[in-house]
């Protein structure tokens, strides 16, 4: 069973393949592949939607199960991909920040959400100690914050962390970039794909 890190790597590889596929010239084979992807998305989407309905029908345990699925780093991404996640972006960001606060407090840092605009997130992370933090500590804190945010909100399109020293590449990439526009908007593009097939 893949853990969150392995799943993130698999999604990264999938994103690379999708990018390569989108750059291929249009031909009957490419159209057929698009139809195949769309059909798989539709089938999986219907199945996942029905699973969520069955879970919600259990009024006693259903909400707790859905909440657990929403917090898991793997199933969380799938629920987002198929527009089945019970929480909106800002709610998930609030939960991620609350998770981060105790850990950052031990490192003498505080964190606050400044604003969210169409997937772009701006955070304030500041030192609560009287002395100046060293560069390595700031880099560690940045990595901790990025990991915590993207775990619950992989659909964040950009993350601006104010109050820390120069950013470093943590290796995390937003879900939208990884999955590629063609997968994240597959359900909205189903009509155009079917039109391509008809041609």
Contacts of 118 (CB under 8 A, 6+ apart): 157
Q: Within its chain, how far is the Cα of 172 from the centroid?
A: 10
CA dihedral 160, 165, 170, 176 (to 10 degrees): 10
Output the pLDDT for position 89: 92
Residues of the chain with pLDDT under 70: 1-4, 130-136, 165-199
- Whole-angstrom distance, CA of residue 107 vs CA of residue 138: 10
Q: What's the token pair of residue 161?
A: 């962390």
**Sign, Cα dihedral of 64, 74, 157, 80:** negative
Buried b (16+ CB within 10 A) or exposed e, 4-26: eeebbeebeeebeebeeeeeeee
Contacts of 51 (CB under 8 A, 6+ apart): none
Which of 36, 33, 42 lies closest to 82, judged by CA? Answer: 42
**Cβ neighbour number for residue 75 with a 10 Å cutoff:** 17
Output the pLDDT for position 194: 47
Let me know if 177 is exposed, middle or buried by CB neighbors in 10 A (0-12, 13-18, 19+). Answer: middle
* Residue 115 near residue 122 (C-beta atoms within 8 A): yes
Q: Running DSSP on this structure, what letter comes out for residue 23?
A: T
Output the pLDDT for position 73: 77
- Whole-angstrom distance, CA of residue 121 vs CA of residue 97: 12
Say what the pTM is: 0.63
- Whole-angstrom distance, CA of residue 52 vs CA of residue 69: 10
Token pair 């490192």 is found at 107
Output the pLDDT for position 18: 83
Tens of pLDDT along 119-164?
899 999 998 886 655 555 888 899 999 989 988 888 888 999 998 8
């Amino acid at each position: 069973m893949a853990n969150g890190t392995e799943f993130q790597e698999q999604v990264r590889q999938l994103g690379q393949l999708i990018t390569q596929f989108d750059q291929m010239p249009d031909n009957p084979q490419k159209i057929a592949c698009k139809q195949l992807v769309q059909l798989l998305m539709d089938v999986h989407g219907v199945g996942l939607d029905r699973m969520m309905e069955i879970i919600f029908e259990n009024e006693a345990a259903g909400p707790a199960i859905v909440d657990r699925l929403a917090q898991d780093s793997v199933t969380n991404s799938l629920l987002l991909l198929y527009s089945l996640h019970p929480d909106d972006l800002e709610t998930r960001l609030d939960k991620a920040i609350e998770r981060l606060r105790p850990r950052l407090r031990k490192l003498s840092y505080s964190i606050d959400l400044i604003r969210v605009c169409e997937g772009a997130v701006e955070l304030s992370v500041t030192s609560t100690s009287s002395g100046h933090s060293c560069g390595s500590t700031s880099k560690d804190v940045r990595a901790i914050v990025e990991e915590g945010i993207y775990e619950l909100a992989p659909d964040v399109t950009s993350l601006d962390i104010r109050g820390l020293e120069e950013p470093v590449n943590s290796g995390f990439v937003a879900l939208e970039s990884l999955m590629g526009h063609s997968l994240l908007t597959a359900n909205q593009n189903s009509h155009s794909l079917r039109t391509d097939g008809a041609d």
